[in-house]
Amino acid sequence: MAALQNGDIPSYTIIHADGLYEDDKLEQEILRSTDGSYKVEYSQTHLSPAGVPTYKPWATIDKELRDKVQGISILKPDFREADLELFPNLKVLVRMGVGYDKVDRVALDKRGVTLCNVPDYGTGEIADHAMALALSLRRGVVHHHDIQRGNPPAEWTPIETPLIARIQGATFGVLGLGLIGTAVALRAKAFGWNVLIYDPFAPNGIDKTLGIERTRDVKDLFRRSSTISVHCPATSQTVNMVNYELLSLMPKGGLLINTARGEVVNLDDVERCLRENVIGGVGLDVVPNEPIPVDGPIHPLLQAYRNQEPWLAGRMIITPHSAYMSPESLLDIRIKTAEVMRDNLINGMRVNVIPLHKA
C-alpha cells in the first residue's frame, strides 16, 4: 500500500539500486502521475555503477531511505533474506533481466513481496550472440584467426578439424525454449540446421508451430545434436545439468554454446570433455561465479584460455556476459523496468510476475 501524504495523495518511494545512469529523466517520466493522483520519489543508490562488476552492501543505503522504499530495481546485486530485512516496506522487486537466480524468492514470498523480471529487453541480441558463437566455431573462423596470428603464423591453407563442418542438414539442439531459445531456434532453422528442442515446460504443439522437432528426452537431444545451445534458467533442477554424462553423448566434434546461466553447465566436465576430445569446442558468454577476476585464481579452463594454451586453439570463445549488449537493448531495459515497476506497484497489475513455484 502506498504511503499517504499531502492531503491523502498516495506516495511511492522507488530506488534503482545499481545506479547505472547519468540521470533518471526517463524513469521519472514513465513513473510520474499524469493526473496528479499520486507522487513518486525515485532515486539511484549507486551500489554498482556502470563499469563496476561488484557492488556495495545494501546496508550502505541510508536507513531513512530504506525504511520508506516500496520498489527496488536491480541488475547486478544479489538480494537475499538478510537484505530484505533492511527494507521493511518493500512491495515490489524488479530484476532487470531474464534471470532471477540471485534473488531469494522464498524470503520474498514469505513477506508478500512481488518479484518481477524483464524477459524481453535483449531477446534478439542474445539470440544473435549465440548464433555468432556457434557460427564462429563451427565454420572455423576462430581457429583460422588464432593460427594466422600465431608466432610463427600458420601456412596459408585451411586446416582440417572435426569442429569445422557443414551446417545444412546437421542438427542444432536447443535446451530451453523460452523467448530467447525460440529466437535461436528460428535463426538456426534459417541457416539450414535441423532444429531439435528439449523443454519439458514448453506447450504442446510448439514444435509444429515453429516447424521444428521436439524430443521429450534430454539424452536424445545431446545424442542427436552436433551443436547444443543452452537457454534455460539456473534452478535447483538445472544447476550442473550439462555434465560429462550428457556431453559424452554428442557426436564427434560437438559444439556447446551457453548464453543463459553459467551454473547450468559443469565447467569441470567441459574441461574434461575438451581435453579428451569428447567435444570439439565451446562458446561461453556466462560462467559460474561471475564476475571473473582479472587477477587471482580462476577456473583452470578459463586460465588455460587466457594463457592461449595451444590445445584450445580455435576451440573456445569467451565473452564477459555481454550477449545482451547494444545501445538499443540498454534503452529497452530502462523503459521496460520502469513500466513493470509502475504497472505492478502503482497500478496494481501483475506483469512479468515470477511465482514461487516457477522453476
Grid coordinates belonging to 63: 536507513
Exactly one of 261, 315, 334, 342 is catalytic; which is it? 261
Task: Tell me how far apart the alpha carbons of residues 163 and 279 are, in angstroms, rounded to a whole number.
Answer: 9
Exactly one of 16, 143, 231, 321 is catalytic; which is it? 321
Confirm whether 321 is a catalytic residue.
yes
Residues whose CB is less than 8 angstroms from the CB of residue 84 and which lie 6 or more positions away in sequence, other chains included: 90, 104, 107, 108, 111, 113
Confirm whether 290 is a catalytic residue.
yes
Task: Tell me how far apart the alpha carbons of residues 47 and 179 are, in angstroms, rounded to a whole number.
Answer: 30
Q: What is the CA radius of gyration of the chain?
A: 23
Grid coordinates belonging to 113: 513481496
Exactly one of 85, 290, 309, 328 is catalytic; which is it? 290
| In 56-198, alpha helices (H) | 63-68, 81-84, 105-111, 123-138, 141-148, 179-191
Task: Tell me how far apart the alpha carbons of residues 82 and 192 are, in angstroms, rounded to a whole number.
Answer: 50
Identify the residue whose cell numbers are 550428457: 246
Task: Tell me how far apart the alpha carbons of residues 358 and 109 are, in angstroms, rounded to a whole number.
Answer: 12
Task: Tell me how far apart the alpha carbons of residues 353 and 350 are, in angstroms, rounded to a whole number.
Answer: 6
Strand partners, 198: 175
Confirm whether 342 is a catalytic residue.
no
Task: Give Cα 199 to chain centroid, integer Å.
Answer: 17
SS3 80: coil
Q: Is the dihedral of CA 134, 139, 140, 141 positive or negative?
A: negative
The residues carrying an active-site annotation are 261, 290, 321
